Structure 1
Amino acid sequence: MKNFARSLYATTASPVALGLALSLIATSPAHAQDAAADTTTAAEKAQAAQEAAASAQDAAAAAQQAAAAAQNAAGEDIVVTGIRASINSSVAQKRNNTSIVEVISAEDIGKLPDLSIAESLSRLPGLATQRLDGRANVVSIRGLAPDFTTTLLNGREQVSANNNRGVELDQYPSELLNGAVVYKTPDASLIGQALGGTIDMQTVRPLAHGKRTVAVGIRGEVNDLGKLNPDISNKGYRFNISYIDQNADGTLGWAIGYARMKSPTAEERFNAWGYPGGPDGNLIIGGAKPYVKSNELNRDGLMGVLEFQPSDRVHTTIDGYWSRFKDDQRLRGIEFPLAWGNSTLLPGYTAEDGLVTSGTWSGTEAVMRNDVVHRTSNIFAAGWNTKFMATERLTLEADLGYSKLKKTEENLEIYLGTGRGQNVGDRETALGFEMRNNGGIIFNPSLDYADPNLFVITDPQGWNSCGGAVPNCQDGFVNTPKIRDQLASLRLQATQELDGFIKSVRVGANYSSRKKSLDDRGFVLTSENYPADTPVPSDYLYDPVSLDFIGIPGMVSFDSWEYYKDGNYTLTDEADWTPGRIFNDYTVREKVLTGFVQANFDQDLGQVPVRGNVGLQIVHTDQEGSSFYAQVVGGQTESTPVTDGDKYTEFLPSLNVTAELAQGTFLRFGAARMLARARMDQLRPGGGVNFDSSRRNNTDINASPWSLDLGNAKLRPLMAKTFDIAFEKYFGKGGYVSVGGFYKRLENWIYRQSTEFDFTEFEVPDGGTVATRLGLANQWQNGRAGKVYGFEASASLPFSTFTPALDGFGVLASGSYTKSRVREGGADPISMPGLSRWVANGTAYYEKNGFQVRASARYRSKFLAEVSGLSLARDRVMAKSEVILDAQVGYTFESGPLTGLGVLLQGSNLTNEPFVTYYNDDPRQIRDYQNYGRNFMAGVTYRF
């Protein structure tokens, strides 16, 4: 608890302290009062238009229109822009929505403050990100993992680049987005409801923007860990340009934007295989895989919007988005098979509290790795929305959407060692080790790992025999998974305005069709010179790469990608003798028809204005999964296609009520039944058949020779009944305080369960007799329920609310506590993946007279992380708590020949916070210790 309190204090108090310190350089009170007075006129006009909007998107559009109108009306008046304009717009949308939502708005066109939309979202109350390669990648909402959330773009569900449902948000350039709304409580007309919440990313609407704008920005970037690998730079850049305009009549508007990113990330990583039982009952490290990794992320994004409103009765918008994301990685390190390898722990080791913390291994045949990853994702999304006012009170709407993704990957592993097949010989192979308090291990080797005459291209551990045909054949390996995902949707709805308590009724239907497939392939690489060991040709060699962070000064480094492409290996498909590669493949098809009806009400109950909505969704799903049964017979894999599926209908009622207890004081209540579909890999119906010949004469099903790991295409979705309550107080320009709580009662949970399975259709692999054809299948199934509940608090405090002398200063802060209780069968309750009990965010800022200073910190307590294991499988391990600190400072010229030009300096992960996971609820038993370093950016923007 002390550690939590200390981290929470650092997260919220540090930005607050910065804001207070900045107040010492505030301009004179008189000047501040003048500026505040000028700003009030424009802001009040903007707020009046914003309050007329009925939904978050409508509020965003109204805010843009009002800002433009206010600027024209004000003439020489000062208009709030930048951070404060973003806060004002976000708070206005939060206030005016009938659901409980969180909102982020761009400070200006092409200017969300963070490196990605994921990082911006992570600053909202109750949201947290999990980092991948040092960058925010996916978002958990209220402790529920990304697979339990839905991501939309302009109201339409999006495809995902991973092998499940969670959308990787770093594929969406923040420069092309105008903001996002996170729905914590749904209404009946919200398509894409999910247990955690729904994220709706939004692009600009040119007619709402209301004026011609051109924005250009360029920034250089550097990572302070330096150039860890010789073939990937630690420097990069970002460039963006946006153009928004409309015709003279204001009936046709268009917007186009392009963003280019070449971003470096770096990583010093210590990875442990696990901690088995060792000498004297102590646990000991089973093996280690430390390495240095360099990434170059290349992303191109293109956004286009065409908006046409020839009259008050017709409004149509076409929008498109395209992104290409290329991730090039180089990983160089040394794999040490220790307790789970051919090593021997020598006497004289040290053990502390049941764990061996230092000692010396002998006989270690290390595997030197020169790995390469090429990962490419292409995303395309488009939509066409048309609204038609059939009468003054009846509006018809049609929305057509389509998105698709194609992702390919080449994950290349190239091995070096001192000899083929654990050929240690009589060399001295002492390897001293000592566990560090902050994670990882320092090694003290007797071998020179930088000697290219000693370490040659070979299979050092004899990891593979290519199905028994070729001993010690694995001189390398390449994984080549491919993912395809496409989703089409059509939504039709009608809204009838009414008199009385019910102000309007909306009815409609949405039909979507999705098809997602994974083709998982892996190939063993065998040197063309097999069985001879091959020295690395000198023309491929680089200077040795330093592994100083684990105590090893250097290792052999070479251009393994070029060596591989030059045809120096033969490839053997692992699927020929390993069934897992076959049944990993899947194709899942989903056809979902959603009908909905929603009544919106607004009425004074006595002296209390009450507004909100009540409605019902009826969701009919037709799902089908295709995969394979696979087993090894006679040393070869045999596969049988299998297709299965199910249909089901769920009823999802919802209620949102907002009572304005006093001016700017709201009490909100929400209740709903919500749905989250099973993961894609859980819906594949196939599996791998295993046969244990030593049990062939057993008739007891619990000791049967047959077993099977199986998916389930008949899985029903996760369902939950949810309740929310929130108290909100709004004041000044962009100020508010909010506290609330939520409770989600899970009706079911998906986990693996053992059930009886008939193996009559499968061959006995060795052709012999067997006493039974029954066995156990370890299958994904719907099981017992659980609950998730928590509390949230957030505040936006512009200091000008308290005194004009502090105009321009402010603080944003939020904190949440979330707890879950879920059982998988009769086991003890588990932590839900992605759930941190405590999440806190704090931002302090100063913005005035062109100056802009901001510092932000975000904290999340430990959580159950889902990380990639072998063959795209998911491993669940605990991740340590973390505090991430970012800051930026800038200046924008507001007058003179340089008007519109801004300069900016940003720093991320300023405290160099590592990402750490561990085993057995013991932080000493490190699985991964990933040190990413700090990233700094400097650049200019120009807007006119």
Structure 2
Amino acid sequence: MNGINVSARLLSGAATFLALAATGAPVLAQDAEEPATVAEEEAEGDAIIVTGIRGSILSSLNAKRESTSIVEVITAEDLGLLPDLSIADTLARLPGVTAQRVRGRSQQVSIRGLGPDFSLALLNGREVVSAGNNRGIEFDQFPSELIGTGIVYKTGDARLAAIGIAGAVDLQTIKPLDAKSQITVSGTYTINDNGNLNPDFGNDGYRFFGSYIDQNADGTIGWSLGATVQSIPTQIIQRELKTNDGQIARTDAGVIFPRDNPRQGVQSREFKRTSIAGSLQFEPTDSFALTIDSFYTDTTDSGIFRGTETPIAAWATQGGAQVDEVTGSGPFADSATYSNVFPILRTDTEGAESSIFAIGGNLEWKATDNLGFVVDYGYSTLDRDDVDFESYAGTGFQGTGPADTLTFNFAPDGQYSIDGLIDYTDPANVLLTDPQGWGQVGFLREPEINDELHQLRAEAYWEFDGGLIDRITAGWLYTDRTKDFDNNGTFIRAGTGFVGGELAIPSNLIIGQTNSGSIGQDIIAYDPAALLASGAYTLQRATDDTEWVVEEQIHNFYIQADIDGDLGPVPVRGNIGLRYVDTSQSSTGTLSGGLINNVSASFDNWLPSANLSFEVAEDTFIRLAYARTITRARLDQLAANQNLTFRPQICPDTNADQAPDSVAPMFNPPANVCFDLSGGNPSLQPYRSTSFDISFEHYISPGTAIIVAAFYKDLSDWVVGLGETADLSQQIVNAGFGNFLAANPQVAIGQFNGPINFSDGSIAGIEGTVRVNFGDVTDAL
């Protein structure tokens, strides 16, 4: 987003804006393993406590140093003053972590070059539901103000609740007994400098945050409550010029110009989010601790795109666009003029409403000085409803209206402009219609997603009084997850008010025009929601709609030895562990256009891991790590939406009842099979990885360090879309051919086309980090 963020503190004197200034100086960083204090220095008997950004940097670096795994850590600056719109923006500052922007916001993160599907997210150490239709969480659901610590695990251990082959991200909210009593309030006003590109969306927003943290006099009970409300405007000028092979042409002189279907226009969005986080800690003695934490976020992401698709290809309607003139000496044209063009005016509404609620409790009891027990439970749920509505307009039905002549002017930076003959802001020139003969005047999609996850942990540990092994932990972790998705697609057809496939835009629904900026092709703006509600359209439900439910039950059994001692003269810390994972998964979807299809599968994995940190010299560490990890397949790949057909030449239908009744002699798998199946694959095994890591870390001072790390991952069971022979018994029975299968069991072996575990590979990389505290360089800082 191109925008100007103005702190509420800077506007406190403005009569038109109420500025809420933060009070108190929060010190809320938490370590990857245990609460971390801010940096302290003893100077002439006085403790100097470093807070704010510098305190956050020192605390983060100290947490990385003290962790037994290879991690990256962020800790809170003064709460409420982080500039980031979501925690994804903050995570993207870490080495090896990148954020992916969706709809103008940082929403998902990738670790070490592997996409969001290959890492898992935790909230307070527990796996959490996701707002998308897969596993990767949308980090813009989590405001940075409510996160005390973010830990990116590049190597895991046997106790970690979940980790993918790329890693895991653990977002931790505030623990009140580890923070000072404080009240914090802050506010921000935002202006987007692109202005109002669509008349129904503004260009200003706001962000308010407040938190309260306190403890009782004895320091045995602590409580915290934080809330944030924000509205973020996004105004984007979009150009999508297709220049791949087959989408371009060349003049006799070799000058390249586009010859396909460019799409350009303006998108306006408003992202509203209300989030609340609370925590209660009870530690009456050193042997008993109870923590209850909760998190709630409600988001509304509304937006609209208004613009044109300009068919300038030879295959377009009414004989295709004609190339009148191309200027420039190359390699790309300076301009290109096309006649006989029938643009599609698009008004696309994109909206999403979602809410996430998560609650968890952790109880730890030390029965003796050495023996302890932990019970942890987490529950999270998500509800999401989207609306994607496309409304089409043009000069006439299927190219019967006036054609336009368009000149594309191509600037060196790619920001082309368009000159045309027709004024598309004039209602007299624009009709609701099907300009290119697509068979519809729009499309409506209203996806619904529900996600529910339970996670229960029980473990016991024994702490030793000396020696190399510091602690041994054995435990059980159970995860039960159900996620369902319904696409709810609807074709928009011309209604009773249309004449010849055309309808003038009702004047009461016209709200203005777009501001396309440097594109130079403004179009009329009308209210699409009111148009849909007016009854002008005929709605026809899509028959090939997507709907599925995926259920997973996962038992984890683990044992881990924590190491803290000396190997000869070298101090060593770390852990060695083993994890056994037993997974049962099932999926329910549609089979062959309407029948209920339920398919289940199970698998298990043994996952050893080791993390060792050697202090080879003072403040100098070498870390070694090894692990076997898995990432379960995407949920939409596991979906049981499948299509089963039979080959009549192999299994004839002699009585014409649409079912096979015999097996021909030519049946001979894998070449000649009876049944073919396509679609999702509920029997997919997880991606698997064997990972090796090494890291060199030298800490020059509490705020300055040089870190170099390398990693190698041997990947197997990679999921790709291919065909293979498979046992199709479940689907054959679900399709109603159970009797035929019972009489001819050999036909169970058929051909499947879809996602399968097929290929192997590897990925390797090197990371380097230099952190400098400029206070070490000059006393002025």
Normalized against structure 1, the TM-score is what?
A: 0.71
Name the one with the larger helix percent.
Answer: 1
Are the structure 2 counterparts of residues 428 and 647 from structure 1 closer, same or farther at C-alpha, using a change threshold of 3 Å? closer
Correspondence 1:503 to 2:478: no
Secondary structure of the residue that 1:752 maps to in structure 2? strand
Correspondence 1:166 to 2:136: yes
Match of 1:414 in 2: 391
Measure the CA separation in 2 of the matches of 1:187 and 1:550. 53
Residue in structure 2 matching 1:488, options 448, 454, 459: 454
Match of 2:532 in 1: 564
Offset at residue 800 of structure 1 (A): 2.1
Correspondence 1:369 to 2:336: no
The answer to which of 383-392 and 519-528 deviates more is: 519-528
Match of 1:395 in 2: 372
Match of 1:513 in 2: 480
Size of the aligned set, in residue pairs, is 716
Measure the CA separation in 2 of the matches of 1:704 and 1:191. 43
Measure the CA separation in 2 of the matches of 1:249 and 1:585. 55
Contact 1:111 1:174 in 2 (8 A): no
Residue pairs, 1:264-343, within 5 angstroms:
264-272=233-241, 276=246, 284-339=258-313, 340-342=315-317, 343=320
Measure the CA separation in 2 of the matches of 1:415 and 1:626. 35
Residue pairs, 1:727-746, within 5 angstroms:
727-746=696-715
Measure the CA separation in 2 of the matches of 1:703 and 1:347. 54
Offset at residue 678 of structure 1 (A): 0.5
Measure the CA separation in 2 of the matches of 1:681 and 1:345. 42
Match of 1:816 in 2: none
Q: Deviations over 1:150-205 (max 9, x none)?
A: 11010001111111111110110111111211111111111101111110001110
Are the structure 2 counterparts of residues 395 and 760 from structure 1 closer, same or farther at C-alpha, using a change threshold of 3 Å? closer
Offset at residue 707 of structure 1 (A): 7.1
Residue in structure 2 matching 1:599, options 561, 576, 582: 561
Equivalent AA in structure 2 for residue 157 of structure 1: E
Contact 1:684 1:712 in 2 (8 A): yes
Measure the CA separation in 1 of the matches of 2:346 and 2:403. 21
Secondary structure of the residue that 1:164 maps to in structure 2? coil
Equivalent AA in structure 2 for residue 574 of structure 1: A
Are the structure 2 counterparts of residues 528 and 304 from structure 1 closer, same or farther at C-alpha, using a change threshold of 3 Å? farther
Are the structure 2 counterparts of residues 501 and 126 from structure 1 closer, same or farther at C-alpha, using a change threshold of 3 Å? same
Contact 1:107 1:113 in 2 (8 A): no
Are the structure 2 counterparts of residues 277 and 707 from structure 1 closer, same or farther at C-alpha, using a change threshold of 3 Å? farther
Correspondence 1:228 to 2:197: yes
Match of 1:179 in 2: 149
Correspondence 1:523 to 2:523: no
Offset at residue 459 of structure 1 (A): 1.9
Contact 1:275 1:286 in 2 (8 A): no
Q: Deviations over 1:822-875 (max 9, x none)?
A: xxxxxxxxxxxxxxxxxxxxxxxxxxxxxxxxxxxxxxxxxxxxxxxxxxxxxx
Residue pairs, 1:789-800, within 5 angstroms:
789-800=764-775
Secondary structure of the residue that 1:530 maps to in structure 2? coil
Equivalent AA in structure 2 for residue 505 of structure 1: I
Equivalent AA in structure 1 for residue 557 of structure 2: G
Correspondence 1:56 to 2:32: yes
Match of 1:551 in 2: 520
Measure the CA separation in 2 of the matches of 1:349 and 1:692. 53
Match of 2:623 in 1: 668
Residue pairs, 1:768-779, within 5 angstroms:
777-779=752-754
Match of 1:720 in 2: 689
Are the structure 2 counterparts of residues 791 and 648 from structure 1 closer, same or farther at C-alpha, using a change threshold of 3 Å? same
Offset at residue 114 of structure 1 (A): 2.0
Measure the CA separation in 2 of the matches of 1:74 and 1:314. 37
Contact 2:198 2:513 in 1 (8 A): no
Match of 2:15 in 1: none
Contact 2:588 2:599 in 1 (8 A): yes
Equivalent AA in structure 2 for residue 138 of structure 1: Q
Correspondence 1:628 to 2:590: yes
Contact 2:324 2:338 in 1 (8 A): no
Contact 2:325 2:338 in 1 (8 A): no
The answer to which of 136-145 and 525-534 deviates more is: 525-534
Measure the CA separation in 2 of the matches of 1:703 and 1:360. 54
Measure the CA separation in 1 of the matches of 2:519 and 2:513. 15
Are the structure 2 counterparts of residues 662 and 80 from structure 1 closer, same or farther at C-alpha, using a change threshold of 3 Å? same
Contact 2:181 2:215 in 1 (8 A): yes
Equivalent AA in structure 2 for residue 537 of structure 1: P
Offset at residue 777 of structure 1 (A): 4.1
Match of 1:40 in 2: none
Contact 1:114 1:174 in 2 (8 A): yes
Match of 1:657 in 2: 612
Offset at residue 353 of structure 1 (A): 8.1
Secondary structure of the residue that 1:800 maps to in structure 2? helix
Match of 1:470 in 2: none
Measure the CA separation in 2 of the matches of 1:165 and 1:718. 14
Are the structure 2 counterparts of residues 354 and 711 from structure 1 closer, same or farther at C-alpha, using a change threshold of 3 Å? farther
Contact 1:284 1:355 in 2 (8 A): no
Are the structure 2 counterparts of residues 692 and 557 from structure 1 closer, same or farther at C-alpha, using a change threshold of 3 Å? farther
Measure the CA separation in 1 of the matches of 2:152 and 2:295. 20
Residue in structure 1 matching 2:218, options 226, 249, 269: 249
Equivalent AA in structure 2 for residue 261 of structure 1: Q
Offset at residue 126 of structure 1 (A): 0.4
Are the structure 2 counterparts of residues 785 and 289 from structure 1 closer, same or farther at C-alpha, using a change threshold of 3 Å? same
Match of 1:475 in 2: 441
Contact 1:618 1:652 in 2 (8 A): yes
Measure the CA separation in 2 of the matches of 1:379 and 1:718. 28
Contact 1:324 1:376 in 2 (8 A): yes
Residue in structure 2 matching 1:588, options 550, 566, 576: 550
Equivalent AA in structure 2 for residue 641 of structure 1: I
Offset at residue 279 of structure 1 (A): 5.8
RMSD: 3.3
Offset at residue 567 of structure 1 (A): 3.0
Are the structure 2 counterparts of residues 614 and 228 from structure 1 closer, same or farther at C-alpha, using a change threshold of 3 Å? same
Q: Deviations over 1:698-739 (max 9, x none)?
A: x99999999764211111001010000011111223221111
Secondary structure of the residue that 2:508 maps to in structure 1? helix
Measure the CA separation in 1 of the matches of 2:732 and 2:379. 44
Structure 1 unaligned segments of length 5 or more: list them. Answer: 1-45, 465-473, 631-637, 764-771, 808-944
Are the structure 2 counterparts of residues 357 and 687 from structure 1 closer, same or farther at C-alpha, using a change threshold of 3 Å? farther
Measure the CA separation in 2 of the matches of 1:567 and 1:704. 50
Are the structure 2 counterparts of residues 456 and 702 from structure 1 closer, same or farther at C-alpha, using a change threshold of 3 Å? farther
Correspondence 1:754 to 2:730: no
Offset at residue 410 of structure 1 (A): 1.0
Correspondence 1:188 to 2:165: no
Offset at residue 617 of structure 1 (A): 0.6
Match of 1:678 in 2: 633
Contact 1:449 1:455 in 2 (8 A): yes
Measure the CA separation in 1 of the matches of 2:618 and 2:298. 48
For CA contacts below 8 A with separation 6 or more, give which structure has more relative contact order.
Answer: 1
Match of 1:131 in 2: 101
Are the structure 2 counterparts of residues 680 and 760 from structure 1 closer, same or farther at C-alpha, using a change threshold of 3 Å? closer
Measure the CA separation in 2 of the matches of 1:692 and 1:271. 43
Offset at residue 610 of structure 1 (A): 1.0
Contact 1:118 1:129 in 2 (8 A): yes
